Chain A
């Protein structure tokens, strides 16, 4: 079953790429050139430049940027996957990520401390901000039975406009639409990594993200607490009957999901960028839904699918610049992949049929 699901995801990716090519053909673009640009932009070296060392080829800047994109997506994907596993659809991740990012940037701008204290403090603040922003939808769901999707959407907009106001009034930057820049001591960027990847903004966040993936797997699969959370997701009535504190668990899993989203805000605003641009919710928050779905809501699946989406996002910019194919091609392909992954029943039937043909042949030869 697990192997089949992986095959379905792979098949969905292939179909997505083919459909993307069809869209380009119909609108008069060259799909081969576009995909070449996509790969090049994501850091695949298709032509080795003269006198480049092996290190230059492996650790190139574009690959660094792909991993940089991946970092944020791992965390937003995990935030949504965690909530999914416990029966909640946390569409509030973009708002929680933005609010977490604001907390982190606030600490990053206002304080001036040693790197070893400042960065962890800013990251903790971001986690706290995300968790707090998820608290209200959790409480409303648990105590009043109000659908978390609606409340989380409202919280997204409240986050958007609150951060807009707070930045303009407390963190004024050089531009009207940007916050002040954080002190370097709060940044997740480290010189060694930037140098290794020839100037990419890749940062410590990547290691944080991978650690959180392992932590999420451990909590959900190896602890009683995680088992209880999942049980509430599977069957709320049975859980209540078994003596699990359903309300408490619902609020907690919403807050943990929010905390991970807050951390996503930290790695984005303290690493990917070094300030907040106001006026929109971070796209990575919405992309997390796609990452989680393609990763089958499994922490390690999320790592893989985040890498895939990170590659597409990083490559898309280069493709757009090099071939004039609009950037929107990337989300089109992403959506088609999710759609095909969702209609996996179709593929599973196909796979089953193909499998049974082979089995028949084997039977015949005996």
Chain B
């Protein structure tokens, strides 16, 4: 019980940003644009958040963290337009454009951080405050696992997945977006602009990844430095594919990964597990993901038109 009380809240903290970023990837890829730039986009979000906290703390006071998270989402969205312009308007290779952003953002944001905070180039933040959900945290067992020592943003994220699922599967917009990723010619033939839909898809992915990056900064890493860029964007990509491009499955995949990662991170604290050679613990999340991929994702194919620039004259 005691172990669970440590593991579950930590796993949730890790899962939330990972999932938001993966969900961002989902919007982009469902609209037909492969987005491997997630790592860069989360970095933009984290930097924007750190920047707002560093520069404007005295203006916004205690609300700074929340303002900074909005800034993170906006910055992520704006940066994703770079990817959108290249891969939709310029018909660039989407993997190439994404790679460019993945190289650009870590370098550019660290460069800027160095010129903002001369010297160390690290921008520390206090981060979000831990929060107990009123009433719910009093429930025995469940309360202490899920509603105690949590962040308010966790529940905002749950709201986001609900909205995403509703919009994607129960609104015309969602149908059109998904159709753009499967058969863009058909979408075009009924008078809907494929280009516009794809721009929106990529933009949403930027907003969600930026927000995820802001949360990563404010709940887990607590400083803007190279520690932000440890591959969460790539793990999100893995969660997206593992979750077969469906919101609830992606949530499950992210939670699975968050749990595995947390177990491997805190296992050394438990004497019984500490006797294992460390290699089993450090590689655990990745090995278990590979195993799960083999077991569950046989022939998981993504949106059919993802990766191809839209060509009106094709077929």
A binds B: yes
- Contacts from A to B (Cβ < 8 Å): 23, 27-28, 89, 136, 140, 144-147, 149-151, 153-155, 157-158, 161-162, 164-166, 169, 286, 289-290, 293, 326, 328-332, 334-336, 338-339, 341-346
B275 contacts the other chain (Cβ, under 8 Å)? no
Q: How far is the CA of A341 from the CA of B86 in the complex (A)?
A: 10
B222 contacts the other chain (Cβ, under 8 Å)? no
Q: Return B241 CB to nearest CB of chain A, in Å.
A: 5
CB within 8 A of B104: which of A140, A150, A154, A335? Answer: A335
Q: How far is the CA of A341 from the CA of B110 in the complex (A)?
A: 24
Instruction: Report B81-136 residues with CB < 8 Å from chain A CB.
Output: 82, 85-86, 90-93, 95-97, 99-101, 103-104, 106-108, 110-112, 114-115, 121
Given contacts A23-B111, A28-B115, A150-B238, contact A342 B298 (CB under 8 A): no
Q: Return B15 CB to nearest CB of chain A, in Å.
A: 18
User: Beyond A153-B238, A154-B290, A165-B277: 10 further Cβ-contacts under 8 Å?
Assistant: A28-B115, A146-B293, A157-B231, A158-B290, A162-B279, A162-B283, A286-B103, A328-B106, A339-B97, A342-B92
Do residues A342 and B238 form an inter-chain contact, with CB atoms below 8 A?
no
Given contacts A144-B298, A146-B293, A346-B90, contact A154 B100 (CB under 8 A): no
Count, A-B residue pairs, CB within 8 A: 138
Q: How far is the CA of A339 from the CA of B285 in the complex (A)?
A: 33
Q: Return A351 CB to nearest CB of chain B, in Å.
A: 14
Which residues of the partner chain B approach A136 to less than 8 Å between Cβ atoms?
290
Q: Return A77 CB to nearest CB of chain B, in Å.
A: 13
Do residues B97 and A335 form an inter-chain contact, with CB atoms below 8 A?
no
Interface string of B255-295 (1 = CB under 8 A from A): 00000000000000000000001110011011101100110
Do residues A150 and B103 form an inter-chain contact, with CB atoms below 8 A?
no
Q: Which residue of A lies closest to B298 (CB)?
A: A144
Interface string of B234-263 (1 = CB under 8 A from A): 110110011000000000000000000000
Given contacts A149-B237, A158-B287, A161-B283, contact A331 B106 (CB under 8 A): yes
Q: Return B26 CB to nearest CB of chain A, in Å.
A: 14
Q: Which residue of A lies closest to B295 (CB)?
A: A144
CB within 8 A of A150: which of B91, B99, B242, B285? Answer: B242
Total interface residues in chain B, CB < 8 Å: 50
B192 contacts the other chain (Cβ, under 8 Å)? no
CB within 8 A of A336: which of B95, B104, B301? Answer: B104
B300 contacts the other chain (Cβ, under 8 Å)? yes
B299 contacts the other chain (Cβ, under 8 Å)? yes
Q: Which residue of B lies closest to A334 (CB)?
A: B103
Q: Return B93 CB to nearest CB of chain A, in Å.
A: 6
Given contacts A149-B237, A293-B99, A339-B86, contact A345 B282 (CB under 8 A): no
Q: How far is the CA of A27 from the CA of B113 in the complex (A)?
A: 11
Do residues B99 and A289 form an inter-chain contact, with CB atoms below 8 A?
yes
